[in-house]
Amino acid sequence: MQILRTVNELRHWSRALRSTPGNTIGLVPTMGALHAGHASLIRAARATCTHVAVSLFVNPTQFGPNEDYARYPRSFDADCALAEREGADVLFAPDVDELYPNGPESTFVEVPGLANRLDGASRPGHFRGVATVVAKLLIAAEPHRAIFGQKDAAQVAVLRRMVADLRLAAEIVVCPIVRDPDGLAVSSRNAYLSSSGRAQALTLSRTVGCIESLVAHGERRAGALAAAARQTFAAEPEVRIDYIVLVDWSTLLPVETAVPGTLFAVAAYVGSTRLIDNTILS
């Protein structure tokens, strides 16, 4: 596996491959601290593309001023080992100046509307940062496919819209949420949780399971489903709900009635750790 540090190196790698018919490039954007969720994306890229690049960049512009940018877990050597084991050909790990040569407050990509919903409402500027960095990566790597996790379902909606609006060529591929055996969605931020916090964090996946089961039994009213979801949190007063929503997955706007494809999403704080989970209703 090659480790590339500059946009030009990534661009040259991609262009050389694209000049040979039949080659396909998959890009897996990450912030590192790689875990089983990231591994599943790399495997999905490996299964559908001839060449795979994993990017590893803790993107400062998607963190708010009081968020965890400085203490976000960083584990470069372990990340290299995981990416190589899962079959990445390239690990792209630029520094901040390489992706933001004129500083973080320069040219950006804004996705109107969607970027201010769900996590974008709770974390102003977050999706602007995400859209900007993913646009930079897609322009540099020119992948045939870019692979993301359903874990960040609102992010997927924002990026799908951005790719459509900017007429970028990459196909957005979405992989299922990888969970620990007890149901907790795997996340780099789970490392922040104490053992009691980890037990409280299970409220999110329990809520997701409860909503799936209510829908399976015929409940379709979004208000009733949201109320039931809030009820599951009542047993864990130390877990603070950020949002509980049922929305259309492409617009992130609230629905009154759940239909196949409706996104049920939840975000909550366990102590100071913000966690998210979701399901696409069937």
**Alpha helices by DSSP H, the chain:** 7-18, 36-48, 76-85, 96-99, 119-122, 126-141, 153-165, 195-216, 222-234
Contact assessment for residue 126 and residue 218, using Cβ atoms and an 8 Å cutoff: no
Chain residues 26-55 in contact with ligand AMP, contact rule CB under 6 A: 30-31, 37-38, 40-41
DSSP 8-state code for residue 195:
H
* 144 belongs to the catalytic site: no
Q: How far is the CB of 282 from ligand AMP (least distance, A)?
A: 18
- Say which residue the tokens 């951005």 belong to: 162
Instruction: Say whether residue 278 binds ligand AMP (CB under 6 A).
Output: no
Which positions from 144 to 183 touch ligand AMP by CB under 6 A, shown as an x/- string?
----xx-xx----------------------x-xx-----
User: Residues 38, 51, 126, 144: which is the catalytic one?
Assistant: 38
From CA 122, how far away is CA 128, in angstroms rounded?
Answer: 13
Query: Of 44 and 222, which has the nearer Cβ to ligand AMP?
Result: 44
From CA 234, how far away is CA 220, in angstroms rounded?
Answer: 22
Which positions from 178 to 207 touch ligand AMP by CB under 6 A, shown as an x/- string?
x------xxxx-------------------
Query: Of 30 and 262, which has the nearer Cβ to ligand AMP?
Result: 30
From CA 122, how far away is CA 244, in angstroms rounded?
Answer: 12
Q: How far is the CB of 237 from ligand AMP (least distance, A)?
A: 26
Pairing of strands 239-248, 262-270: antiparallel
DSSP letters, 132-189, are: HHHHHHHHHH--SEEEEEGGGHHHHHHHHHHHHHTT--PEEEEEPPPB-TTSPBP-GG
Contact assessment for residue 266 and residue 204, using Cβ atoms and an 8 Å cutoff: yes
Q: Which residue is nearest to ligand AMP (CB)?
A: 149
Pair of tokens at residue 220: 């379709």
Query: Of 35 and 51, which has the nearer Cβ to ligand AMP?
Result: 35
Q: How far is the CB of 73 from ligand AMP (least distance, A)?
A: 10
Q: How far is the CB of 62 from ligand AMP (least distance, A)?
A: 9
Q: How far is the CB of 5 from ligand AMP (least distance, A)?
A: 19
**What are the residue numbers of the active site?**
38
Chain positions contacting ligand AMP, by CB under 6 A: 30-31, 37-38, 40-41, 148-149, 151-152, 175, 177-178, 185-188
